Chain A
Amino acid sequence: MYGNAYIDPDQTPNKLTQDEDPARLAEFEARIEGGDKIEPKDWMPKEYRKQLIRMIEQHAHSEIIGALPEGTWITRAPGFRRKLALMAKVQDEVGHAQLLYSAAETLGKSREEMINDLISGKSKYSNVFNYPAETWADTAIISWLIDAGAIVNQLANSKGSYGPYCRALERICVEESFHLKYGHDNVVFLATGTKTQREMVQDALIRWWKPVMHFFGPSDNISVHTKTLMKWKVKMASNDEMRQTFLNMYVPKIWDLGLVIPDPNLKKNESTGLWEYTEPDWEEFKRVINGDGPCNKERLAVRKYAEEKGRWVRKALLRKDAEYVTPLV
């Protein structure tokens, strides 16, 4: 799951391509316009490289940190079959991080630098994983709705212009379809179960609706910068467009189970075909993304612990003649 480009709305647009060779830039843009993919060793504008590194790296971090809230439930899964399925899902997420880190590496940032930037807080990951999974039902809602949101995003991005990222996403989407079915199955099981089970899943939905609405990010500031990134097929759809696609696909499915979405203003405007909703609290979104969420510290502490505790093994296996070159992917 889980990548989404966060575009800095304060960036001055005219700096974007001012140092670039106009002829090469034109050739590059024509190639993308014609539907060609850009490969690692091709010439590319500095801003294209920078935005892609940031976006793919954030996506990779989100996969690896995203495995944590659900991972906490492996030891407490209700039943052996569910435990095995959850372990498979969590392992998939970590595998997705591997694919995405490799794709980002092709642009010239080493995996070690990405790990350091994650732990120092310099790079971000999807905000939703700074919230706790309080009950088993929270893991069901995450697997269903957060993964659904991620699929909307990843299907859009897999049609982007950077070859290695598109290839990683195609592989990821295949595995995500299992997550979505698994999550839906878990939600349906609880929603069609006893009164206690129904209450449990309803509570989880109330807790997770805000992070779900935050997932795609605030409305894009339609600046020259955003337009350029869309032209370069780095950003494939606006945050609002993706949120609409998601609501259109999943709100009816949630209502179908008799569950209540905690937003009295949520409805589809039949004349525009668009969903109307209460604007999510974007101040909270910014506060949490900048470190002040319920779980930010423990997520990074767990990651840091794993990196440090595993280091002696990696060091013991490192051969003296090892040499790092940028992978092909």
Chain B
Amino acid sequence: MKIQSLDPRITRSEIELEKPFDEAKELDQWQTYEVFHQTKRGQQHQHVGCVHAPNAEMALLFAKEVYGRRGLCVNLWVAKSSNIFATDYEDADIFECEEVKTYRDPGYYKVMDRIKAFKEKQQSI
């Protein structure tokens, strides 16, 4: 017998090589869930990517397979991508700090200069 293929799937499942494909339709691969993982207790959860899943339980299962391998994860969150609201990079200027607001920076407060000056003044009396 001539071996048709080295792939056991070809022979055992009797896969036809030339069969036309019934194309995948919209949502064939379900919707997406965004995945957040925690690498260690005490750390914050971080966004790592997404999975396609039919519901949250299965999203967690797939997230464990894709993002939780090799012991680099202790906890996972998933949320539907459609439930995440995000700011637009075009509006990034809302985060810009104005220079006049330096009174909010610790470096703005230079008490030592005043204390030093005060002490020098006292000594000279």
Contact = CB atoms under 8 A, between A and B. Distances in A.
A95 B86 CA distance: 27
Contact of B7 (A112, A298, A318): A298
A314 B50 contact: no
B54 A326 contact: no
Contact of A134 (B6, B21, B22): B6
Assign chain B's interface to a size class: 35 or more
Nearest to A310: B28
A111 B7 CA distance: 26
Nearest to A178: B70
A95 B67 CA distance: 9
Contact of A324 (B13, B19, B32, B34): B32
B28 A325 contact: no
Interface stretch (A50-58, A113-121, A185-193, A257-265): A113-121
Do most interface residues of chain A lie in helix, strand or loop, or is the interface mixed?
helix
A270 interface: no
Interface residues of A, number: 52
Contact of A323 (B18, B34, B82): B82
B9 interface: yes
Interface of B: 5-10, 13, 15-19, 21-32, 34, 47-52, 54-55, 58, 65-66, 69-70, 81-82, 84, 86, 88-89
Interface of A: 39, 41-42, 68, 71-72, 75, 91-92, 95, 98-99, 102, 105, 110-112, 115-116, 119-120, 132-134, 167-168, 171, 174-175, 295, 297-298, 301-302, 304-305, 307-308, 311, 314-315, 317-319, 322-329
